Structure 1
Amino acid sequence: MAMSDETMTGGASGSAKAAPVPKGRAAAAGGKSTLGQAVFVILLLGALALPFIFKNFTIFQMTMLMVYAIAILGLNLLTGINGQFSLGHGAFYAVGAYTAAIMMENLGIGYVWTLPVAGILCFVVGFLFGLPALRLEGIYLALATFALAVATPQFLKLTPFEHWTGGVQGIVIIKPDAPFGLDAVLNADQWLYFFTLAVGLFLYWLARNLVRSRTGRALMAIRDNPIAARSMGVNTSVYKATAFGISAMFTGIAGCLGAIVIQFVAPDSFTFALSVAILVGLVIGGVGWLPGALLGAAFIVFIPNVAEEISKGLAGAFYGFFLIAVIYLAPQGAGGLLRALVAKLGR
């Protein structure tokens, strides 16, 4: 952990004042902040205008892009911020999706209320899973989460749960219309796009503040040096389990939104391939860089379609080629590539 300016410049008596920040450095920091705000405003304006420009299928794709971005954001909090590796986030996505489907179709509850319930339920499941996983690290933790991802679809097919989950046939969800008379202006796809956008912005704000908070600093300290963090009084067990819970909460909310948008859930929709896709999005976007979730989600939504357009028979091969090319050209993901470009332009 880096020392503050006051700590670095203070004298032996503690009365020395901190050295002033150089004007060039302050101007550069201010310029980066202004540039980031300008980019955010431009992207937000483009996102607000998009549903009125493109057709429903493109709107559906962009909505799913935001859904996957939320799931990648949740995994980034666990892996990028806390340093725990997971191959099982597809299981938390499935829990959130089935929570929405059961509440909407079996219990007749409005879709808005499914989001907090899915978030709380997935937080509890993630926290409870994180407790026994505290003794596992590295590849052993990866294997435990892999087992979770593989077992979840099989549990959803079990006969005792078939009344709720629909078994192998799944559950069909009715797409909600825009409320408050907005259905006269927005169709169902446009409304779900704006609804997902609002939820995504709120969760991104929540994740950003979490990373900058005392809890976020503790999570990063555990990632960088768990022994030093423990010696400084950080309860590593509680923080690591909490990180699992928060990460699962984000991914569960993403699954809830995905079920509402797709209008269907079934066990075979949440195989291990989904967990791999979320992990791929994390690597492509940049591990530890929160805005990279959007770029990673764009990769897993659009690149398979591009590969299929090139060759339907070799779509998997072309997808793998694109993935290897991106990893080779940007080994630290989109975040590392952008930081390198900014540093180069700054010089």
Structure 2
Amino acid sequence: MNQIAATTSAIAPRYAGLPARTWKRVGLMLLLLFAVVLPFFVSNYRVFQLNMVLVYAIVLLGLNMLTGYNGQISLGHGAFYAIGAYVAAILMDRFGWPYWATLPVAGLMCFLSGFAFGLPALRLRGHYLALATFALAVAMPQLLKYKAIEQWTGGVQGIVIIKPDPPFGWKITPDQWLYLFTLAIVVVMFVVAWNLLRGHVGRAMVAIRDHPIAADAMGVNSAMYKTLTFGVSALYTGVAGALGAIVVQFVAPDSFTAGLSINFLVGIVIGGIASISGAVYGALFIQFVPNIADQISKAAPWAIYGVFLLLFIYVMPGGVAGFVRIVARRVLRRFLV
């Protein structure tokens, strides 16, 4: 999406007489309009799936900030997703909080958790950091089953959440309302991320990733940026976890295994490393491709999933976002030049 807009901006102004920024805005507005009306033309099950795509897009955007832009590999973001989900579930079930009020609390809790984890992780790089975060993902389901906190987490039985009704007496289904609510959150968080990454903060993150010694020599506080990036990335994941719990209406420890964290990493690789729009493409992949694989073969769905994964990596080594950018550039040159 951003790639298409960027490619259009490089070519279209010479032919249509419109500035690049106008083309970008028109394209994004049309895309947003399509996203708004989409839930009214598909089944409730499809709306649920699209809801999860939006939730995963927030996770992948946060993880891409950490891994794609800052160079810190994490295999533990499923743990932060679980924290956000449980914070929302506990506040709604035990304290009767409205669903929307749980989001900032879930985000704050995950920011603090990510920041705290990021401090000792400063000593780790590359695969050592990946293993440390993976240990967090492996431990999280067992921690949630711990009997000392079972009265809050529900233990292995988990917590059931009541799906919120549309406000103001709107004549839409709860699934449609949750989709629109989640879409609004996605737009806000993507705009915040875009502004953050295009400014000096984003440049500092990339400098630390590509040239850490040079960044330190230029006065960039690598420790501060790394820990803050870890915290912000966890914040995004926590908000997504809260939204995911509200959409699914249920949380349980075994819903947040280490496989979830691996899926998130797969999502940013398939979507495109260091790409904002890649978060959407990656979310579509991890939501729909496993279902497609299951429909193709009930006996060996993960084998089919692996084939899809290899094909995507082979055909689009730069991720779907990079592939879309290349295709869009060629199409625009063909029809506009």
TM value normalised by structure 1: 0.89
**Which residue matches 2:74?**
86
The equivalences for 1:1-347 within 5 A come to 27=14, 33-182=21-170, 185-345=171-331
3-state DSSP class of the match of 2:220? coil
Q: What CA distance in whole angstroms lies between the structure 2 residues aligned with 1:343 and 1:199?
A: 30
Report how far residue 218 of structure 1 moved: 1.0
3-state DSSP class of the match of 1:105? helix
Conserved? CA contact 2:12–2:20, under 8 Å: no
Q: What CA distance in whole angstroms lies between the structure 1 residues aligned with 2:245 and 2:234?
A: 16
Q: What CA distance in whole angstroms lies between the structure 2 residues aligned with 1:238 and 1:261?
A: 35
Q: Which residue identity is paired with 1:121?
A: M
Report how far residue 42 of structure 1 moved: 2.1
Render the CA deviation track for 1:95-135: whole Å, top value 9, x for unaligned: 00000000000111111110000011100000010000001
Conserved? CA contact 2:84–2:239, under 8 Å: yes
Report how far residue 38 of structure 1 moved: 3.2
Report how far residue 52 of structure 1 moved: 1.2
Q: Quickly say closer, same or farther: Cα 1:25–1:106, change in 2 above 3 A.
A: closer
Q: Quickly say closer, same or farther: Cα 1:24–1:318, change in 2 above 3 A.
A: closer
Q: Which residue identity is paired with 1:170?
A: G
Render the CA deviation track for 1:21-80: whole Å, top value 9, x for unaligned: xx9898499765444333322221111111211111111110011000110011001011
Q: What CA distance in whole angstroms lies between the structure 2 residues aligned with 1:27 and 1:275?
A: 45
Q: Quickly say closer, same or farther: Cα 1:179–1:26, change in 2 above 3 A.
A: closer
Q: What CA distance in whole angstroms lies between the structure 1 residues aligned with 2:72 and 2:181?
A: 31
Q: What CA distance in whole angstroms lies between the structure 1 residues aligned with 2:164 and 2:154?
A: 21
Report how far residue 341 of structure 1 moved: 2.3
Q: What CA distance in whole angstroms lies between the structure 1 residues aligned with 2:59 and 2:277?
A: 13
Q: Which residue identity is paired with 1:297?
A: A
Q: What CA distance in whole angstroms lies between the structure 2 residues aligned with 1:151 and 1:108?
A: 29
The more displaced of 329-338 and 265-274 is: 329-338
TM value normalised by structure 2: 0.92
Q: What CA distance in whole angstroms lies between the structure 1 residues aligned with 2:70 and 2:293?
A: 34
Q: Which residue identity is paired with 1:94?
A: A
The more displaced of 71-80 and 31-40 is: 31-40
Q: What CA distance in whole angstroms lies between the structure 1 residues aligned with 2:289 and 2:12?
A: 39
Render the CA deviation track for 1:276-316: whole Å, top value 9, x for unaligned: 11111101110001011111111111111111111110211
Q: What CA distance in whole angstroms lies between the structure 1 residues aligned with 2:163 and 2:83?
A: 19
Q: Which residue identity is paired with 1:251?
A: T
Conserved? CA contact 2:78–2:137, under 8 Å: yes
Identity, % of aligned positions: 57
Q: Quickly say closer, same or farther: Cα 1:227–1:253, change in 2 above 3 A.
A: same
Q: What CA distance in whole angstroms lies between the structure 1 residues aligned with 2:81 and 2:11?
A: 46
Conserved? CA contact 2:11–2:332, under 8 Å: no
Runs of 4+ in structure 1 off by over 3 angstroms are 23-36, 342-347
1 or 2 for the larger relative contact order (CA 8 Å, sep ≥6)? Answer: 2
**Which residue matches 1:4?**
none
Q: What CA distance in whole angstroms lies between the structure 1 residues aligned with 2:275 and 2:20?
A: 16
Report how far residue 180 of structure 1 moved: 2.1
Aligned residues: 323
3-state DSSP class of the match of 1:164? helix
Greater CA radius of gyration, 1 or 2?
1
- Segments of 5+ residues of structure 1 without an aligned counterpart are 1-22
